[in-house]
Structure 1
Amino acid sequence: MAVGEFQLINPRTEDRPIKPDVEYDWLESQTPECLKWARQESQLTADRFDHLPRSKMIEQEMQALVSSAVRTPSFWVWGRHLFRIRQDNVNERGILERCARVNDTSPKEDDWRVVIDIDELGRKENRVFEFHSHMECCLFGPDADRLLLMLSDGGSDLVELREIDARTGQLIDGGFHTPSGRITVSWLDIDHLLISHTIYGGPKTAGDWPAASYIWQRGSDLKNVKAVFTAEPTDAIAGVCSLGPTDSGRAIINRVVDFSTFIYYIVSLDGSVEELPGLPTGSSMVLPRPTTSEYLFISLSKETVVRGKAVPAGSLIAYDVSTDQPGEERLSIVYEPEEEEVNLHLWINGLRASNSRIHFAMSKRGAEKKMVFENQNGEWQLVHSVPTSTGSRVTIVAADCYSDDTIICESGLLCPLTYWLEDEEGKKTLLYAEKSAFDASEFILRQMTTNSEDGTEIDYLVLSPRVPKHDQGKAPVLMTGYGAYGISMPTSYLNSMLGGISLVPWLNSGGSLVIPFIRGGGERGEAWHQAARQEKRQKSYDDFIAVAETIVRDGFTTPKHLGVYGSSSGGLLSAIMCIQRPKLFGAVVSDVPLTDMLRYTLMGMGGAWIYEHGDPKDPEMAKVLRAYSPFHNIQDRMNYPPCLVTISTNDDRVGPGHGRKFAAKIKDAGASNFYFFEDDSGGHSVSDSFKNTKLLVRRLVFFIETLQ
């Protein structure tokens, strides 16, 4: 079907003029009027897509994939026990299971014992629960007999806390329990938690996170507990985490001042709070915080003098929390990266601490190695350095605070995920090997380079059929990107940021995938991130445009067959592509996006992102933000490409207002091919291939019908 034939209903009429920007602000709310508007617009979109000829065929293919594919489990190692969350088409929300480790052999399916079935719990309570526990902080003691179960209702970032027996799944009589709220928590000992929350009111940070932290004793009323620490209201976020083993009697409070400045405090069981003296504040975000009972580890975000020596950004630093020495003397250098060497996975699963070691992976020009360091006689020594296989990446998904065992994952765009339990000697035991969802031999992966508008070299990956299914120069192509917060684009198998399992029908239909590594991300380290922050943000979008122009100029595809997809900050990117370069793209999907950059701080937890985007209250910064803000740059009667915006009503991270306002305004401007769909649950992860297959089917139908 040609692009010109793929038109939506709802053309602009004279009695529906484009309005002043402020007249769309009502769509940020959750009033009945607003929700009615969202339902009506969503129904129009569903009616249009669900009856197209290819819709049933694609839905059958997706349902077959979801039914046959077992979603890759999440794994944790804790002393002599393993835990996993197993999900499939029957258990969409997941089953938490555990098994005992015996003789370092691979566990059999019969070895796993159910702790709690999240789907069944939701059915009993008429809720749509999601598992949100951070096991590193929520499991207790070497026997792993208690768990702080964190449950989200419908994918929201707000969670309810329940203390359960981690062997049986039963609620602990008289155990810790909270209503739903934004919570971070860690054990201090079996009868005390360190918890931050605003369940009953209390101060908040700029990002709408709890500012106050409390020591909560078993049996006491959380309403009456006094705060032991309160972060500043101008901080982006604040939270608590464990310090080594969860029965240590100590935990950490972390003030994220602005995503470039991190200040740490140790809280002891007696209520004392100590700011860590001499610890550099210029570090990168790492989740979870890597700690042992002796050390807190940070990755420097800028060149820093450590004990008289200038060390570069990206260096790994250890801070001794077990001594009373002066602050400077507590610091030690674990690793200084080589030139062009970077930790691609730093934010999540790129840096893990076990009982006495630190584990991470470094990449340089496509080659990657996993490294393990240990402190020996006061010096950090390399214990293991293992290169990964060509074309694959390794992440450290879990580490044991009671031993030096870890769980690692190896994967690539054409290589299904494999999970291993690795002991302190480097011996690996297979935990899980994902099955192939498509025939990798039918595809070819290439890394290419082009130049951005200012001459900067931009790398990008092209995944395409080895034997083209479409005429020369007419290859249907999806581009996707992110370009913010120093987060690297993933290159693992069917990663959710790339579309998850919904990529399979696209690839099988002859489609290609292009992944540009644009500025703002972390592919070349912190300097790459800084190169597109705040007033330099447009450079990130220029990089993406340069790659799109290159693959068109080189004859790989045409604008008519070129689509763009992005989620969250990637949703902002894709919305910008729609507005800035409407003739360069044939279709756009913007998932849970930011679009109003002059009001982003007022929606969701947007107040936490000022360091990244800038403060719209600053007149000069407001000019920069308005210049690329998709919502503000919609033009009347412009011929925009077909576009689909997907959001969730209960997305409390970005907020649904961005997507709604963008959709309403662009339709008022005369766009006759603009689609909007709002799901009532799913949160910021609404586009989940397993949990929301129907939404992904609509997105696939949109792309295939439009671009092929």
Structure 2
Amino acid sequence: MFLTAFAAALLTCASPAPLPDNLWLEDIDGPRSMEWVKAENAKSLPVLQGDRRYQLLHDNALAILSATDRIPAPDFIGEAVFNFWQDREHVRGVWRRATLASYRTGKPTWETVIDLDALAKAEKANWIWKGAECRAPAYDRCLVELSNGGKDAVEIREFDLKTKSFVAGGFKLTESKQTVAWLDPDTLILTRDWGPGTLTESGYGYIVKTLKRGQALSDAKEVFRGDPKDVSAQPNVLRDGEGRQVVLLERGVDFFHTRYWQLTDKGTVELALPQKSNIQGLLHGRIILTTGEDWKYSGADIKAGSLAAADPALLVPPSGDEIVISNAVPVIFTPGPRQSIDQVKVTRGRVVAVVYDNVRGRIFSFADRGEWGWPQTALPAADNSSINLASASDRDDQVFYSVESFLVPTELNLADAASAKAEVAFRMPGRFNADGLMVEQFQAKSKDGTLVPYFVVHRKDIKYDGSSPSLLFAYGGFQLSKLPLYDPLVGKLWLERGGVFIVANIRGGGEFGPAWHEAALKENRQRAYDDFFAVAEDAIARKITSPRRLGAYGRSNGGLLMGVALTERPDLWNAVVVESPLLDMLRYNHLSAGASWVGEYGDPDVPAEAAWIAKYSPMQNLKPGVKYPLAYITTSTKDDRVHPSHARRFAARLGEMGDPYLYFENTDGGHANGADPEANARRWAMHYVYLTRQLMD
């Protein structure tokens, strides 16, 4: 392993804790914990922010994050286009709107609806924007979600879009992790913390109630109850563009299995939807969903990973053994073995889906032709791209979608899904010099023989002698795909300075559908890590880089991946950024929202499952005497999803063993670890100072 003088100087960062396993660091805001955080930050900040390159990296990051010529992300709300915007003048942000005609000009005339900076100042509060749920079809009032410091828990207030003010005496829900929807103009349906005994072990509500205008929370009427062992229970009000409404009650048995009930005037009835599925919307009264498992419905065999449409009336289990069959074709699209459906939106009359083929995106529009099936139409998009569905209108068939790739800046299109005609609404200017850069896609053979694709972005004149500083990125969990995105920060702070960027499409993700994810679930978790190591070894074998010049970055579940990379293969890297991580996998289910992820990782309270979790859990696999690369471990005090003690205790344990490390804890920002452009600029500048010192110096 390679310890630079920089790393050796940081041996003094260690400060042993007096209690076994440092469990006292689980007291998030406790004085003792915060004193430890303060001391650790005081050690790391002079190294990271005192570096001569920090200021330029910070300034470049801030210029990108607060640029006024960014594409304003569109959100159809009724006839208008809404956007939430942050820049140097609006640090917390403004929620604003424009007419569609104005937006299409590329230079919209914006009307501010909520100025979050002014609101936070007036209320002396640390408000972070979390979104708004507006009532259809009038779209005249919204439920605005405000977070204290970026937490997942939010306060909700009713807001009038016409007067641009909070409604006096309107709905106001105190802080909680809560899911709320409009049932009608004067009734909400919601789940939240209703008091003692009303939360699951994951910290989410499992009791769904309706709340009428003017009622106190204590007077809300219960309509559904799950189980405390569930992840959660929540409402999902589906509406189509023709005015139909279906109210679903979703009981999350675990992170990936959900049982569905429909709320009707006569009560609730369970629907025979596949438990592994994602509800995407409502079209002509039919539920649009993607399936995570094979499903038999209306006489059709629907494969896992498919896009389908189901009539709620046919989802009520029939009496006896009869099968009710409709003339309507339920299967919209079935992906091939190297394809996956990534995103779906429903317009007034169409289903629009992004399909990836070997991690390259295409976009299709599907029309319901009854017994004639679902003819598809391709919408314009460049080859070898990543595509993101931004927003779809329920008034017509217009849809916003963006197209980008590693080296081509994002282009936002407005298309008519029916005619397949599209126009460019915005083009992001280039944020870094891509001249001389190229992208290649390779495959690495994992330990069990599986071929794992990965992208490499590098200079065309790269020397294949192992000397190129390279950053390897992956996630490998929860069926989330890592796609060829245009990342201005990677480009400006890394690629433009001579770095190589590698993105690994390891198992556990969704790049090739449900099977790719399920291959690394629970007892098979090690496969994701083996895939990651295989990509690193392949890049080294090709002499793109070498262990001296190779670093790795991951956040959240990717932070767990980094912990495993550090403990299982310390020989492969000279830098590892461990951000917002899970690290103590034998306690994760008792911390914050951890219990909700048992479906992904397994249950460490079950001895048989604890046995295979313990084999890779980073906290339990730190060993004295091993030469670990200098790790940069970072998290947020306000992270109420992944408990900050994972990062704290891991760093403390490294210190106890006498190993060097860097630790920084942001006291704001939540799980996203950055609440505003300035905070994010600091965050990324510190990341790249560390990577520069470890890999480029």
TM-score of Structure 1 vs Structure 2, range by shorter chain: over 0.9
- 1:78 touches 1:142 (CA, 8 Å); kept in 2? no
Per-residue deviation, 1:119? 2.1
Partner of 1:290: 281
Q: 2:129 aligns with which of 119, 127, 131?
A: 131
Per-residue deviation, 1:595? 0.1
- Residue-by-residue CA offset, 1:347-399 (whole Å, 9 max, x unaligned): xxx01122232211222235533122222345542252236312212222222
Partner of 1:308: 299
Give the distance between the partners of 2:24 and 2:470, measured in 1 at CA: 35
Give the distance between the partners of 2:315 and 2:438, measured in 1 at CA: 56
- 2:208 touches 2:233 (CA, 8 Å); kept in 1? no
Per-residue deviation, 1:510? 0.3
Give the distance between the partners of 2:27 and 2:636, measured in 1 at CA: 12
**AA at the equivalent of 1:545:** F
Q: 1:608 aligns with which of 596, 599, 609?
A: 596
2:96 is equivalent to residue 111 of structure 1 = no
- 1:638 touches 1:669 (CA, 8 Å); kept in 2? no
- Residue-by-residue CA offset, 1:508-565 (whole Å, 9 max, x unaligned): 1100100111111111111111111101101100110011111112211111110000
Give the distance between the partners of 1:56 and 1:677, measured in 2 at CA: 18
- 2:150 touches 2:675 (CA, 8 Å); kept in 1? no
**AA at the equivalent of 1:538:** Q
Q: 1:513 aligns with which of 488, 501, 510?
A: 501
- 2:291 touches 2:305 (CA, 8 Å); kept in 1? yes
Partner of 1:57: 56
Per-residue deviation, 1:250? 5.0
- 2:14 touches 2:654 (CA, 8 Å); kept in 1? no
SS in 2 for 1:696: helix
Q: How does 1:134-153 map to 2 (within 5 A)?
A: 138-153=133-148
Q: How does 1:535-550 map to 2 (within 5 A)?
A: 535-550=523-538
Partner of 1:584: 572
TM-score (ref. length: structure 2): 0.93
2:216 is equivalent to residue 217 of structure 1 = no
- 1:81 touches 1:144 (CA, 8 Å); kept in 2? no
Give the distance between the partners of 1:322 and 1:111, measured in 2 at CA: 45
SS in 2 for 1:416: coil
Partner of 1:260: 256
- 2:508 touches 2:517 (CA, 8 Å); kept in 1? yes
Partner of 2:94: 95
Q: 2:628 aligns with which of 637, 640, 645?
A: 640
2:331 is equivalent to residue 337 of structure 1 = no
**AA at the equivalent of 1:513:** F
**AA at the equivalent of 2:170:** G
Q: How does 1:276-287 map to 2 (within 5 A)?
A: 276=271, 278-283=272-277, 285=278
SS in 2 for 1:343: strand
Partner of 1:400: 393
Give the distance between the partners of 1:256 and 1:365, measured in 2 at CA: 31
**AA at the equivalent of 1:640:** Y
**AA at the equivalent of 1:452:** S
2:659 is equivalent to residue 671 of structure 1 = yes
Q: How does 1:425-464 map to 2 (within 5 A)?
A: 425-464=419-458
**AA at the equivalent of 2:260:** Y
Closer/same/farther in 2, CA of residues 316 and 110 from structure 1, 3 Å limit: closer
Partner of 2:381: 388
- Residue-by-residue CA offset, 1:70-126 (whole Å, 9 max, x unaligned): 554332113322111122232233221122234x97145353211111222122222
Give the distance between the partners of 2:223 and 2:81, measured in 1 at CA: 34
Give the distance between the partners of 2:62 and 2:347, measured in 1 at CA: 40
Q: Number of residue pairs matched?
A: 686
- 1:651 touches 1:682 (CA, 8 Å); kept in 2? yes
**AA at the equivalent of 1:474:** S
Give the distance between the partners of 1:393 and 1:313, measured in 2 at CA: 23
- 1:152 touches 1:159 (CA, 8 Å); kept in 2? yes
- Residue-by-residue CA offset, 1:586-605 (whole Å, 9 max, x unaligned): 00101000000000001121
Give the distance between the partners of 1:18 and 1:446, measured in 2 at CA: 50
- 1:292 touches 1:356 (CA, 8 Å); kept in 2? yes
Per-residue deviation, 1:13? 11
Partner of 1:376: 369
SS in 1 for 2:120: helix
Give the distance between the partners of 1:421 and 1:140, measured in 2 at CA: 24
**AA at the equivalent of 2:298:** R
Give the distance between the partners of 1:482 and 1:3, measured in 2 at CA: 26
- 1:243 touches 1:293 (CA, 8 Å); kept in 2? no
SS in 1 for 2:375: strand
Partner of 2:119: 121
- 1:188 touches 1:250 (CA, 8 Å); kept in 2? no
SS in 1 for 2:609: helix
Per-residue deviation, 1:10? 5.9
Give the distance between the partners of 2:315 and 2:440, measured in 1 at CA: 53
Give the distance between the partners of 1:17 and 1:91, measured in 2 at CA: 42
Give the distance between the partners of 2:370 and 2:66, measured in 1 at CA: 54
**AA at the equivalent of 2:379:** V
Partner of 1:195: 190
Q: How does 1:558-569 map to 2 (within 5 A)?
A: 558-569=546-557
Give the distance between the partners of 1:474 and 1:688, measured in 2 at CA: 36
Per-residue deviation, 1:611? 0.8
- Residue-by-residue CA offset, 1:55-82 (whole Å, 9 max, x unaligned): 2332333344345465543321133221
651-660 or 256-265, larger mean C-alpha shift: 256-265
- Residue-by-residue CA offset, 1:309-362 (whole Å, 9 max, x unaligned): 3222111221223679766547852324242253352xxxx0112223221122
Partner of 1:497: none
2:145 is equivalent to residue 154 of structure 1 = no
**AA at the equivalent of 1:267:** L
**AA at the equivalent of 1:93:** R
Closer/same/farther in 2, CA of residues 380 and 95 from structure 1, 3 Å limit: farther
- 2:157 touches 2:171 (CA, 8 Å); kept in 1? yes
- 1:314 touches 1:336 (CA, 8 Å); kept in 2? no
- 2:410 touches 2:428 (CA, 8 Å); kept in 1? yes
2:303 is equivalent to residue 318 of structure 1 = no
161-170 or 564-573, larger mean C-alpha shift: 161-170
Give the distance between the partners of 2:152 and 2:639, measured in 1 at CA: 8
Closer/same/farther in 2, CA of residues 650 and 72 from structure 1, 3 Å limit: farther
Q: 2:247 aligns with which of 251, 254, 261?
A: 251
Partner of 2:171: 176
**AA at the equivalent of 2:551:** G
Closer/same/farther in 2, CA of residues 688 and 151 from structure 1, 3 Å limit: closer
2:354 is equivalent to residue 361 of structure 1 = yes
Give the distance between the partners of 2:521 and 2:578, measured in 1 at CA: 21
Per-residue deviation, 1:573? 0.5
Q: Which runs of 5+ in 1 are unaligned?
A: 495-499
**AA at the equivalent of 1:401:** D
- 1:487 touches 1:522 (CA, 8 Å); kept in 2? yes
Closer/same/farther in 2, CA of residues 28 and 534 from structure 1, 3 Å limit: farther
SS in 2 for 1:291: strand
Closer/same/farther in 2, CA of residues 367 and 54 from structure 1, 3 Å limit: closer
Give the distance between the partners of 1:19 and 1:38, measured in 2 at CA: 16
695-704 or 369-378, larger mean C-alpha shift: 369-378
2:420 is equivalent to residue 420 of structure 1 = no
Q: Which runs of 5+ in 2 are unaligned?
A: 319-323
Per-residue deviation, 1:407? 1.6
Closer/same/farther in 2, CA of residues 305 and 143 from structure 1, 3 Å limit: closer
Q: 1:487 aligns with which of 465, 480, 485?
A: 480
Closer/same/farther in 2, CA of residues 105 and 626 from structure 1, 3 Å limit: closer
Give the distance between the partners of 2:408 and 2:193, measured in 1 at CA: 43
TM-score (ref. length: structure 1): 0.91
Partner of 2:321: none
599-608 or 428-437, larger mean C-alpha shift: 428-437
**AA at the equivalent of 1:573:** L
- 1:62 touches 1:502 (CA, 8 Å); kept in 2? no
SS in 2 for 1:684: helix
**AA at the equivalent of 1:680:** T
64-73 or 604-613, larger mean C-alpha shift: 64-73
Give the distance between the partners of 1:689 and 1:490, measured in 2 at CA: 25
